Each structure stands twice: as C-alpha cells, then as structure tokens.
Amino acid sequence: MHPLEQFHFCPKCGSSHFVEHNAKSKHCEDCGFTYYFNPSAATVGLIVNERGEWLCVRRAKEPAKGTLDLPGGFSDMFETSEEGVMREVKEETGLDVDRVEFLFSIPNQYLYSGFLVHTMDMFYRCYVKAENANVYSHAHAADDAAELLWIHPSDIHPSDFGLLSIRSGVEKLLAIDNQSHHKS
C-alpha cells in the first residue's frame, strides 16, 4: 500500500475531498492544498575507537529489537542533520561528538507504530571529543540502546543488523574500510 493511502483528510482544512494528485502527492479539492509525501530525515553515526573498532548498539525497542544497529535516529524540527546525529549519539551512548563528516545516504522504510515511515538515512563519521585518554570509557547504553559493543570490522556481519538500511550502510562502510586498508 502506498503511504498516501493512509491519509484520508486534508491536513490543512480537514476535508474528506483529499484525492490522489500524482504518485507523490494528494490534493484537497476544497481548499486547494497539495500535500507532498517526502522522506523524514534520519541519521546514523559511525564511531571508530583508537583500536579501529566500531561502536555498535543493540536495539532496545522495536522495530528489530535485540539486533545490532549504529547510533542514530530521526532529526528533530529546526535541527540540522549534523546536530541530529550529534544529539542521537549523546542520547544513546553518552558520548559528546564535536565533529561529523558526511559519508553517504540511503533511502529507507521504517515501520513505526504500524505506520511505514519513508526516511532518508544519512550516514556520518562521528568524532568524539577527546578530553582525556579514556574518552570512550564514559560510553553507556541509554535511550533506544540496550547495550553498547565495540566490534572490529573484521568481526562485523551485516546480517546481524536488523534494519535494512543500516545493513546496507554497514556493507558499504565495510567496503570503504577494506578499500582504505588495501591502499595503505
């Protein structure tokens, strides 16, 4: 089912004369408002420690509860994607990110409370504030994360990641990691 099929009333005036306009939008025949269904912004953070291990989280909630994930989540209103990934990393791990580097994006569908949310997942390399030599020792699982795990890329299996876009992103990150090791 197309996501727009779930919208029966105009979000501007409440009219039930809210009809398909094209594949991406619905149009209100009463007030003239056209609603375009666009993806929500979501972020994913790759954090690598001094041993080259990736910080992975175990999901505490559905969807894909109990599977591996990378820290991240939805961007809030009036927040940049960069601010969103920094906030999400702080909420899920307790770590303070002071710099991010955009890597790539992957379109996704995320089932939330029975509603299929289309997202644009933006992957970032996150650099943690290095206030002392044990910067990562303060990391702790919180919010949507049940557990934190430091895993070396050679021990990472994309199939352990429950969300399809994260799995695809991990495959891409592993390919990038392998290319960088072959160049050095």
**Segments making up each domain of the chain, as ranges:** 3-36, 40-183
Residue 168 is predicted with a pLDDT of 96
Residue 177 is predicted with a pLDDT of 81
Handedness of CA 52, 58, 63, 65 (dihedral sign): positive
> Does CATH place domain 40-183 in 3.90.79.10?
yes
- Indicate whether 1 pLDDT > 70: no
Mean pLDDT of the region 85-114? 93
pTM, entire model? 0.87
State the residue for tokens 């994260």: 166
The span from the CA of 121 to the CA of 73, in Å, is 9
The span from the CA of 109 to the CA of 114, in Å, is 12
- Indicate whether 133 pLDDT > 90: no
Is the link from the previous residue into 3 a cis peptide, with omega within 30 of 0?
A: no
Residue 104, H or E segment: strand 97-112
Q: Tell me which DSSP letter residue 64 carries.
A: S
